[in-house]
């Protein structure tokens, strides 16, 4: 519904919330997300937008998002090393040594077992 002032000067306004800022370009999102490997939050801060907006445009542009397991700190360790550490120190103790939560370690081990 257009406001009365807009109608007086011959403009038609669209209903809904007014748009603030600009949409990110596809090339820019591909560069930041895919090539530079930045997170959605980092891109949102860089562009001055909300993370939900970044997710929306990634989906709209058809840019495939990364799973959380691929971004884990644990991806630099071999599966055998992680399993050996868990046997030696236990899941809680080894997770503490690695600087991650025990559920993170547990879920990561489960995900790499499912993929193999």
Under a CB-based contact definition with an 8 Å cutoff, are residues 54 and 29 in contact? yes
pLDDT score recorded for residue 18: 60
Residues 50-62: pLDDT tens digits? 899 999 999 999 9
| Per-residue model confidence (pLDDT) at position 22 | 78
Tens digits of per-residue pLDDT, 77-99?
Answer: 898 999 999 999 999 999 999 99
Nearest to 102 by CA among 78, 71, 74: 74
Q: 35 CB contacts (<8 Å, ≥6 apart)?
A: none
Confidence category of residue 74, pLDDT binned at 50, 70, 90? confident
* Three-state secondary structure call for residue 116: coil
- pLDDT at 2 exceeding the cut of 70: no
Query: Contacts for 50-59 with beta carbons within 8 Å, 24 or more apart?
Result: 53/24, 54/24, 54/29, 57/23, 57/24, 57/26, 57/29, 58/29, 58/33
For the cut 80, the answer to whether the pLDDT of residue 64 exceeds it is yes
């Amino acid at each position: 519904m257009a406001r009365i002032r807009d109608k007086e000067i011959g403009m038609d306004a669209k209903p809904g919330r007014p748009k603030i800022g600009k949409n990110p370009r596809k090339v820019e999102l591909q560069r930041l997300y895919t090539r530079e490997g930045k997170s959605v939050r980092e891109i949102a801060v860089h562009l001055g937008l909300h993370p939900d907006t970044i997710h929306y445009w990634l989906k709209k542009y058809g840019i495939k998002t990364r799973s959380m397991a691929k971004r884990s700190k644990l991806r630099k360790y071999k599966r055998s090393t992680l399993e050996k550490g868990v046997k030696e120190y236990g899941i809680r103790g080894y997770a503490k040594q690695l600087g991650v939560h025990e559920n993170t370690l547990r879920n990561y081990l489960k995900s790499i077992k499912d993929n193999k």
